[in-house]
Amino acid sequence: EGPESFPPLRNEAAVHVLQGRMKGIQGHCNSCYMDAALFSLFSCTSVLDSMLFMPFPLCDRNVQGILRDEIVNPLRRTGFVRASSVMHLREQLTDKGQCSSFTNAEKDPEEFLNLIMQQILGIEPLLKLQSGGQKEQECYCYQIFMDKQEDLVVPNVQQLVERSFLSSDLKLVEIPSCFIIQMPRFGKEYKMFSKIIPSLELDITDLLLDSPRECCLCGDVATLECS
């Protein structure tokens, strides 16, 4: 008999299971970067469920089991994950990684994702990016970098991704199977945006390399792109 699996929460079920007090992933000892990442990746989507079940070539079955049985399944089943379960995962990451501070320090979510996806589970990179005609780069997630934008007070994710790609002269080489996006970094002192509206769908037409698009003047297939 294989490992137990619970489907991601959708629609009314998501509201019913995840809303209210003592819901979500319990924080402890600077775990917010990991709690937020795990909740985003697994609570309401199955796109990365291969991380929980696939026997990848480099896969550490112990870490995979903790992720599936102690974090994702309880989150989907009851809407709540104890801090001790996340600490169990953090201890394993500290053992497996090059870094000794996964159990107590605040990290960048990208550092956590790279460690668990690349070094512990051995998943192929999810994104292929190209900047200004240079050699393509592979990565697991994309962090939005941008200067302060006076005209954006309460932006949505679509606007932030488009402007970030434009300012870095980036294109997606291919349509990604999963597009993990990290919002602009917030520190304790400075917040670039007080709120960001989630875009429930993301249009990546203009972000794709060599994607045929129509001319905004005549409607034929465009041959030039004006940034």
Q: How far apart are CA 112 and CA 97, in angstroms?
A: 10
Query: Is the pLDDT reported for residue 89 higher than 70?
Result: yes
Kindly indicate the confidence band of residue 107, based on its pLDDT and cuts at 50, 70 and 90: confident
Burial class (CB in 10 A: 0-12, 13-18, 19+), 213: exposed
200-206 mean pLDDT: 93
Q: What residue ranges do the domains of the chain occupy?
A: 9-118, 125-220
Give the residue ranges of DSSP H helices in 97-204.
109-114, 157-167
Please state the rounded mean pLDDT for residues 85-98. Answer: 86
Instruction: Report the pLDDT averaged over residues 29-52.
Output: 94
Task: Check residue 114 and give its pLDDT.
Answer: 92
* Torsion sign over Cα 160, 176, 38, 30: negative
Superfamily covering domain 9-118? Cysteine proteinases (3.90.70.10)
pLDDT computed for residue 143 by the predictor: 93
The phi and psi torsions of 197 (rounded to 5 degrees) equal: -85, 125
Report which of residues 196 and 190 the model is more confident about.
196
Per-residue pLDDT averaged across 78-89, rounded?
96
18 pLDDT higher than 90: yes
Contact of 213 with 206, CB cutoff 8 Å:
yes
In 3-state terms, what secondary structure has residue 207? helix
Is residue 77 within 8 Å of residue 21, measured between CB atoms?
no
Provide the 8-state DSSP code for 98.
S
